[in-house]
Amino acid sequence: MLYVLRRLLQAVPTLFLVIAASFFLMRLAPGGPFDLERPLPKASMDNLARIYGLDQPLALQFARYLGSLLRGDFGPSFSFRDLTVVELFARGLPVSMTLGALALMVALVCGIGLGALAAFRRGGFWDRTSGLLAGASLAVPSFVVAPLLQIVFGLTLRWLPVGGWEGGAPGHLVLPVITLAVPQIGSIARLTRTALVETLNAQHVRTQRAMGLPPARIARHALRAALIPVVAILGPTAAGLLTGSVVVETIFGLPGIGRYFVDGALNRDYTLVMGTVVLVAVLVMILNLVGDVVAALLDPRARQRARLGR
Q: Is the pTM of this model over 0.85?
A: no
DSSP letter at 122 equals: T
What is the Cα–Cα distance from 287 to 284, expressed in whole angstroms? Answer: 5
- Summarize the confidence of residues 304-310 as an average pLDDT: 51
Q: What angle do CA 30, 35, 40 make, to 5 degrees?
A: 140
In a domain, 66, yes or no: no
In a domain, 58, yes or no: no
Give percent above pLDDT 70 in the chain: 89
The pLDDT value given to residue 113: 87
The number of beta carbons lying within 10 Å of the beta carbon of residue 264 is 26
The pLDDT value given to residue 1: 61
Mean pLDDT value across the chain: 80
In a domain, 307, yes or no: no
Give percent above pLDDT 90 in the chain: 3
In a domain, 274, yes or no: no
In a domain, 12, yes or no: no
Task: Please name every residue paired with 76 in a beta bridge, in sequence order, or none if there are none.
Answer: 84
The pLDDT value given to residue 251: 85
> What are the φ and ψ backbone dihedral angles of 54, each rounded to 5 degrees?
-80, -5
Q: What angle do CA 178, 182, 187 make, to 5 degrees?
A: 150
**pLDDT tens by residue, 151-172:** 998 888 888 888 877 766 788 8
Kindly tell me if the per-residue pLDDT of 5 is higher than 80.
no
> What are the φ and ψ backbone dihedral angles of 96, each rounded to 5 degrees?
-65, -40
What is the Cα–Cα distance from 10 to 167, expressed in whole angstroms? Answer: 39
**pLDDT tens by residue, 41-62:** 777 777 777 877 777 888 888 9
The residue that leads in pLDDT, 298 or 100, is 100
The pLDDT value given to residue 285: 82
Kindly tell me if the per-residue pLDDT of 306 is higher than 70.
no
Of 34, 226, 22, residue with least CA distance to 112: 226
Q: How many domains does the chain have?
A: 1
| Parent domain of 168 | 91-264
* CATH number, domain containing residue 141: 1.10.3720.10
In a domain, 236, yes or no: yes
In a domain, 213, yes or no: yes
In a domain, 33, yes or no: no
